[in-house]
Structure 1
Amino acid sequence: MKLLNRLLTVTFLSLSTIGVAFSQGALPPNAAASVNGMIISNDAVEQGIQAALAQGQKDSPELRKAIVGKLIDISLLAQQAERDGLANSDKANRQLAFIRQSYLADLELSTYVANNPVTDADVQAEYDREIASLGPQGMVVEYKVSDIAVATEADAQAALARIKKGESFDKVAKSVSLAPNKVQGGAVGWVQAGQTLPQIAAVLTTLPKGQVSPAPIQMPQGWYLIKLEDKRTTKPPAFEQAKTPIRNALLQRKQFEFLSQLRKNANIAVQ
């Protein structure tokens, strides 16, 4: 399993739980393993499992054993790096600073969402608004979408160039996308335009079926390419069916608005 890179991040973000030295002997209650007296915590293993599940893998005893094995390998390599004097190199410090910044960004966003939750009343109001906007025919347009998410515009342009040369969207998504749905070739499924952010909706509603967005779409978390796989008109779902995607869309909108406000108040210079 290609878990090493992802688990490296998990490990560095869990130094407080992994990098604790204990004398040899019985392991403490929250320990999954010990490597030369350095504890690998059950919490770190659980983080690795959640990362694997997000990539589409199935939870199983074999997966857990594999993750513990990878964490042991990582601990051994990290300890050897310490012995080799690599821990304080410029390269290591830059990478560790980036990992710390990424972790703090995720923590800030999750804290903001926890302090500004999407309420049941918000979901009901959005559902009522969407139903009222359908007009006398009362039908909704749904789009079957696939996407590719990458870190930079250059990466997105390179992916788009491959697609224009004839590679399938599915193949390119599996090759370069950073999103968990890369294992499904970027498949998102059926969505309504109102369930996506404005930048995506503006492109999605104008794409012909089977086509890919003509240019990369900039989002707060990266750059996207989208493909409209199919399009259909259908009756609106009942509230119970719609409330989960509506809640997710409202949550995504809150995150986008929060990031947009931070950008607006910041002094940003780009080369």
Structure 2
Amino acid sequence: MKPYSIRFFISAVMALGFASVACSQDALPINAAASVNGVIISNDAVEQGIQASLSQGQKDSPELRKAVLGKMIEISLLSQQAEKDGLANSDRANSQLALIRQNYLADLELSTYISKNPVTDVDVQAEYSREIASLGPQGMIIEYKVSDIAVATEADAQAALVRIKKGESFDKVAKSVSLAPNKVQGGAVGWVQAGQTLPQIASVLVTLTKGQVSPAPIQMPQGWYLIKLEDKKSSKPPTFEQAKAAIRNGLTQKKQFEFLSQLRQGANIVVR
């Protein structure tokens, strides 16, 4: 069985905390999966663990369910021992438990907001239609294989461009002067669509031919860039059935971002 994610561990701890009801009799309550020294592990808590495991790609099976319950028994045993050892009221425990509670509530708030403001089938269909319309009359997805060089000043970008024009490879110059993490890959970015890049990049990218480097440095908020079009390809867009899951996920993330932006605007945030 694969290790549990932090998110599952948080959910498990919270679930155990909500289900810590003493059981003095051998017979378990109806919604109990197990009892550990009289502390109940509920079926609901176990189901949360199972769903977390399924979300990590594991397959539902009796073995998985047994392993999840076994893990929760271990968590209960360890937490009870921590109580006995006086760890529960330590500064470290209190700060971590506060963080666990905060993360849990944040996740709960987002999921509750989305449940009250769901992405509808109409929303998904409208977004798919908009994306198809944006492809133009040919109705094809154009992808660009791009490399870039990021430097701090226009003078640095011009110096890099001179080296490339004199015959040095884009890859070599990127490894030499670029400030971006992808410098170790020679500035390789990979395949992107123009709409996935900032307008300053997109407007230049669509004008390049295969193997061409941007004729002038491109000013961006974080510095100056040179880009190279390594390759270009076109493909048919996916059908609605193929795309709808990804579109729904994207629209959901957009709703979450907009919700967080609203909270930020109404908050008094002070950063040192």
Q: TM-score, normalised by structure 1?
A: 0.65
For residue 25 of structure 2, give the secondary structure of its aligned residue in structure 1.
coil
1:58 deviation in Å? 2.1
After TM superposition, the structure 1 = structure 2 runs for residues 122-201 of structure 1, keeping only pairs within 5 Å, are 122-141=123-142, 201=197
How far, CA to CA, are the matches of 1:4 and 1:26 in structure 2? 32
Report the counterpart of residue 58 of structure 2 in structure 1: 57
Kept in 2, the 8 Å contact 1:19–1:38? The answer is: yes
1:66 deviation in Å? 1.2
**Amino acid of the structure 1 residue aligned with 2:247:** I
Kept in 1, the 8 Å contact 2:144–2:233? The answer is: yes
Report the counterpart of residue 251 of structure 2 in structure 1: 250
How far, CA to CA, are the matches of 1:56 and 1:76 in structure 2? 27
Rg larger for: 2
After TM superposition, the structure 1 = structure 2 runs for residues 35-54 of structure 1, keeping only pairs within 5 Å, are 35-54=36-55
Deviations 1:209-229 (A, max 9, x none): xxxxxxxxxxxxxxxxxxxxx
Report the counterpart of residue 34 of structure 1 in structure 2: 35
What number of residue pairs does the alignment pair up? 205
| Aligned-pair Cα RMSD in Å | 3.1
Report the counterpart of residue 241 of structure 2 in structure 1: 240
How far, CA to CA, are the matches of 2:143 and 2:22 in structure 1? 55
Deviations 1:82-118 (A, max 9, x none): 1112111111111111111111111111111111111
Report the counterpart of residue 183 of structure 1 in structure 2: none
Kept in 2, the 8 Å contact 1:81–1:87? The answer is: yes
Report the counterpart of residue 182 of structure 1 in structure 2: none
Distance 1:107 1:142, change over 3 A: farther
How far, CA to CA, are the matches of 2:254 and 2:53 in structure 1? 27
How far, CA to CA, are the matches of 2:194 and 2:79 in structure 1? 46
Kept in 2, the 8 Å contact 1:10–1:48? The answer is: yes
Kept in 1, the 8 Å contact 2:16–2:45? The answer is: no
Structure 2, unpaired ranges of 5+: 146-179, 186-190, 211-230
1:201 deviation in Å? 4.9
Distance 1:71 1:36, change over 3 A: same
How far, CA to CA, are the matches of 1:90 and 1:69 in structure 2? 29
Deviations 1:226-266 (A, max 9, x none): xxxx9852112332332222222111111111112222222
Report the counterpart of residue 102 of structure 2 in structure 1: 101
Report the counterpart of residue 15 of structure 1 in structure 2: 16
Distance 1:192 1:103, change over 3 A: farther
Distance 1:201 1:69, change over 3 A: farther
**Amino acid of the structure 2 residue aligned with 1:104:** L
**Amino acid of the structure 2 residue aligned with 1:253:** K
**Amino acid of the structure 2 residue aligned with 1:19:** S
How far, CA to CA, are the matches of 1:118 and 1:191 in structure 2? 26
**Amino acid of the structure 1 residue aligned with 2:138:** Q
Kept in 2, the 8 Å contact 1:86–1:92? The answer is: yes
Structure 1, unpaired ranges of 5+: 145-159, 167-189, 195-199, 209-229
Kept in 2, the 8 Å contact 1:31–1:42? The answer is: yes
Deviations 1:147-192 (A, max 9, x none): xxxxxxxxxxxxx96x8668xxxxxxxxxxxxxxxxxxxxxxx997
Identity of aligned residues (%): 68
For residue 14 of structure 1, give the secondary structure of its aligned residue in structure 2.
helix
